[in-house]
A and B are shown apart, each in its own frame.
Chain A
Amino acid sequence: MRALDLKLMRDLRRLWAQCLAIALVLGCGVMVLVLATGTERSLRLTRDAYYDRGHFAQIFAAATRVPKQLLPEIARIPGVAQVEARVSMNVVVDLPGMVEPAQARLLSLPAAGAPVLNRPTVRLGRLPEPGRIDEVALSENFAEANGLAPGASFAAILNGQRRALRVVGLVLSPEFVYLIGPGALMPDDRHYGVIWMNEEPAAAAAGLSGAFNDLSLRLTRGASEAAVIAAVDRVLAPYGGTGAHGREQQVSDTFLRGELGQLGAMALILPPIFLIVSAFLVNMVLSRLILLERPVIGLLKAMGFTGREIAVHYLKLSIGIGVGGVLLGWIAGAWLGARTTQLYTEFYRFPYLIYAPGTASFAISAVMGLGAVALGAVRAVNASARLRPAVAMQPPAPPLYRLGRIDAAAIRMGLRQTTMMILRSITRWPGRAAVTVLGVSAAMSVLVACFFTFDSIAAVIDEAFTRTNRQQVTLHLARSVPATATEAAAHLPGVTRVEGAFGLPVRLTRGWRSALTQVEARSDGDTLVRVLDGNGRVVAMPPAGLVLPETLAAKLGVAPGDVVTLSLLAPPRDTVDVAVSRVLPQSLGETAYIAAPALFALMRVAPQVNRLNLLVDTDRLPALYAAVKTAPAVDGVLLWTGIRAQFDATIRENLIRSVMIYAVLGVLITVGVIYNAARIQLSERSYELASLRVLGFTRAEVGYVLVGELMLLTFLAIPPGLLGGYGFSALISAGFSTDLIRIPLVISRQTYAVAALIAAVSALGAALVVRRRLDRIDLATALKQRD
């Protein structure tokens, strides 16, 4: 090996800790890129493959009752490739050993053969055999959460009739990758599932013999989705069609899309930030490292090495660090990516996982990572290589200190001389201090943004559960009843307060934009479910206009004062123009609101209810549950405490995992910055510091000069760090909001405090490690030579 390369190897070995610290920071940026893009790509490929193999439908429609004779007409609609007609109904489920009722969606399986669309994948057991009226297959997560294996039995209330059903198989379906009950905000595997049953008993139970009420379609290549939807709507309108829609409004797919969007945003927002910070750091550390090599550079020049050869030598050093960082990042990113993808496939129900991070993210991250270090090195080497050898070989002139205003103030304060040394060092090299401050504040920003996600989720939970939905139980009624029936519910066991609610499917249209959603009737007296404005105040309903959540308004491109076309997708199925009165910021949901009298006037009916919100005496909940399990009018139950517990559990579990990763990154950046700053200080000032020891200063006093300066800089990094954290959080809030959830930008004081504290503790740790080196320094050699 050439002598210069030997020097390189030995330099790398001598500086291993510093090189590792740089490599780690660089690795963080690389890792985030590989992780985010790798997970996004894998999840997307898994989804696409599953949709493809499971023949996931492209258009979905529901109606009240459609005779089967209509199927050929639907199949003839231009652009329709395949049609699947089913019976679908919501049922209350009574599970053995569970006090509260559960809820399920019951779907029919075709009489002959497997479904052509939305094919269930059997995970355990089998599908119901033709002719068996009590056999059912269950969605795997629901069955697992309730310990139901093939062979188990349970009861369901089908259209008011209690039926014993036998589980024969557990299945997954591309339709329910993310399974969430109507009106629920989160999956609740214990209380909501899907039941597949043979067509004959299902149709009989639903009173739909010879008919269907649920339709799925797959389109021919190149067909216009909008045209097919319009045609299907026309065909189904006489039969109570509630509006066909594409995948963009299919609940499971929408959640998946949201998740992919978030991962995409993560891949776009985070890695550049990390890479820029690490590039900056690498740049700073390398320039300073190379500055220390100045005499060697001078010597090499004196010996006749060309500037190029010298530059290449140092470039190799930094590329060595870069390669180390990129490899670390690749390994960590690929490993975490595989694990994260695995977790996603558990959270989202996929029967298999395709982990294919793709080569692009590896290539891009390598180019960016190596580019960052090479750039840092080139700048530094150029500065030194341009010097004339005679100048380079001389030790740099002693730094010129000048008395400034800060010094005057410090002198007046009568600070100790060691403190003066700290202040002078900072004021003499403000650029260097600024880089350290910048690095630490970047780390703090990452930490703030990490913990901000908890704050925002807490705000969402508070909004959704504490302030908006204050009921304990919501009962869904099988069909609308006059509002006067609300009184009857007050007599259910344990009920202390009842409020009726009414919602119906509508299509809102403005110009070429349209959205399928629910409109909710709001009465003045409603206190359980509330509509709040951005400041948490109850919104007074305008007498006639619509109140829309921001997300829906954005989708329609409307502002208060605009007029939208409202098509009722339930009798009398009228279409009217309505003004938008108000737009509200809201974290969850896309429901439109209107004053109850206005809605019922539009519908030309007396006030009705199709949901009941209840406050219940907790002690008597079991009695209420028992009553609900047998009430024929109820086809669905939402237990809000259960939803909330589930929400907390899943969100937090997922969040903690990713937050942990980013917290580690924040700590690594801090440690990388401070450790390197300390090492450079140590090598540049070892003479000075050793002199202090010779003068009789104690180790602690000398250590104070080193650690004190770094801690002062860390302290100075707090304001910009927290400010940066706010900006970073704002980016995340914007980038991570999906159609279904808007991430509010709220950051608690605790978040700021914890972020600053973690950064400060990591900085102190890193500085103390270097201080131990200072303690071990050999005075004689330190006074003789540098580093």
Chain B
Amino acid sequence: MSDQVAFRVEGLTKTYASGAIAVQALRGIDLALYEGELVVLLGPSGSGKSTLLNILGALDIPSTGRIFFREHELTGMSDAALTAFRREHVGFVFQFYNLVPSLTARENVALVTEIAKRPMRPEEALERVGLGHRLAHFPAELSGGEQQRVAIARAIAKRPEVLLCDEPTGALDSATGVTVLEALYEANRDLGTITALITHNAAIRRIAHRTIRLADGRVASIEENPQRMEPAGIEW
């Protein structure tokens, strides 16, 4: 991790107006994420973690506030520009693996490498997550952990600068979860990918450079973690 700010977030709010009642998911977030860091986002259910992550990844737009990625301001960009941002810089991993069921592991990864600028080969990405031998399997033929690792392979295959993971281990048991975390950890270490990881599992914060806690749509606390652990060392 370095001192250079990659993401800068100022006064971010997000209000969902679904039906009669408006839900304030984010109530004013100020935050910086640094180049090469791995942060863990913690917080109770409904505190706005996913909302924040989605906005960082340009999957959603804030109600007010500004976001900068390096020298570019994301807020106010056109839809096309946001799409290009995602395409070139961001990889996502979601809780429910979100693979295309009609494509094999290799093809799911190829989906991304075909549109990326300087991707790895899909085989290489899958080897990185330890799935070099399951290339031709369809999602339905893979276990949950394997599916999630395919999703990670797909996310890192384009060598993104940013990797955003929303509860990637949420649906997995501890041993499987560790293999998934290892894949993320190595991507961050080897490729320098800025990684933000949402989890409900406080133990995972030990692999992070920093831990950001959200509560009720605000940043509750930020902790540095001077003694990082390898994923293999944690258990839950």
Contact = CB atoms under 8 A, between A and B. Distances in A.
Contacts of B107: 3, 6-7
A391 B111 CA distance: 21
Interface stretch (A219-227, A304-312, A769-777): A304-312
Given A296-B100, A303-B87, A306-B87, 19 more contacts: A2-B114, A3-B111, A3-B114, A6-B102, A6-B103, A7-B107, A299-B98, A302-B59, A303-B92, A303-B112, A304-B84, A304-B85, A304-B90, A305-B115, A388-B59, A389-B54, A389-B86, A390-B54, A393-B59
A302 B86 contact: yes
B108 interface: yes
A306 B80 contact: yes
B119 to A, nearest CB: 12
Contact of A391 (B60, B84, B86, B103): B60
Interface of A: 2-4, 6-7, 10-11, 14, 295-296, 299-307, 309, 388-391, 393, 397
28 contacts: A2-B114, A3-B103, A3-B107, A3-B110, A4-B111, A6-B103, A7-B107, A11-B102, A295-B98, A299-B98, A299-B100, A300-B111, A301-B59, A302-B86, A303-B87, A303-B115, A304-B85, A304-B112, A305-B83, A306-B80, A306-B83, A306-B87, A307-B79, A388-B61, A389-B54, A390-B54, A390-B59, A391-B60
Interface in B91-144: 92, 94, 98, 100, 102-103, 107-108, 110-112, 114-115
Interface in B48-90: 54, 57, 59-61, 79-80, 83-88, 90
B162 to A, nearest CB: 12
B92 A7 contact: no
Given A302-B92, A303-B111, A304-B84, A7 B59 contact: no
Nearest to B116: A304
Contacts, number: 74
Nearest to B106: A3
Most buried by A among B79, B92, B111, B112: B111
A389 B57 CA distance: 10
Nearest to A385: B79
Given A3-B111, A304-B87, A305-B83, A14 B102 contact: yes
B226 to A, nearest CB: 34
The 10 A-B residue pairs with the shortest CB-CB distance, nearest first, are: A304-B87, A10-B102, A390-B60, A390-B59, A304-B86, A390-B54, A3-B111, A3-B110, A389-B59, A3-B107
A301 B59 CA distance: 8
A388 B60 contact: yes
B88 A304 contact: yes
A303 B86 contact: yes
Most buried by A among B79, B94, B102, B107: B102
A388 B59 CA distance: 6
A289 to B, nearest CB: 13
A7 B115 contact: no
Interface residues of B, number: 29
Interface of B: 18, 54, 57, 59-61, 79-80, 83-88, 90, 92, 94, 98, 100, 102-103, 107-108, 110-112, 114-115, 154
Contacts of A300: 111
Nearest to A781: B140
A309 B60 CA distance: 19
B100 A7 contact: yes
Given A3-B103, A6-B107, A393-B94, A304 B61 contact: no
A2 B110 CA distance: 8
Contacts of A6: 102-103, 107
A299 B85 CA distance: 15
A10 B86 contact: no
A10 B115 contact: no
Nearest to B102: A10
A270 to B, nearest CB: 38
A306 B83 CA distance: 6
B55 to A, nearest CB: 8
A307 B114 contact: no
Nearest to A293: B100
Nearest to A388: B60
A19 to B, nearest CB: 14
Given A3-B108, A296-B100, A304 B115 contact: yes
A309 B111 CA distance: 12
A304 B84 CA distance: 6
Contacts of A301: 59, 83, 86
Contacts of A295: 98
Most buried by B among A2, A304, A390, A393: A304
Contacts of A309: 115
A302 B57 CA distance: 8
A301 B102 CA distance: 17
A582 B114 CA distance: 80
B60 A7 contact: no
Given A302-B92, A388-B59, A390-B54, A307 B83 contact: yes
B111 to A, nearest CB: 4
Contacts of B154: 303
Nearest to A302: B92
Nearest to B110: A3
Contacts of B18: 397
Contacts of B85: 304
A10 B87 contact: no
Nearest to A397: B18
B93 to A, nearest CB: 10
Contacts of A299: 98, 100
A396 to B, nearest CB: 12
A397 B19 CA distance: 12
Nearest to A2: B114
A11 B57 CA distance: 29
Nearest to B87: A304
B22 to A, nearest CB: 16
A507 to B, nearest CB: 75
A603 B59 CA distance: 96
Nearest to A303: B112
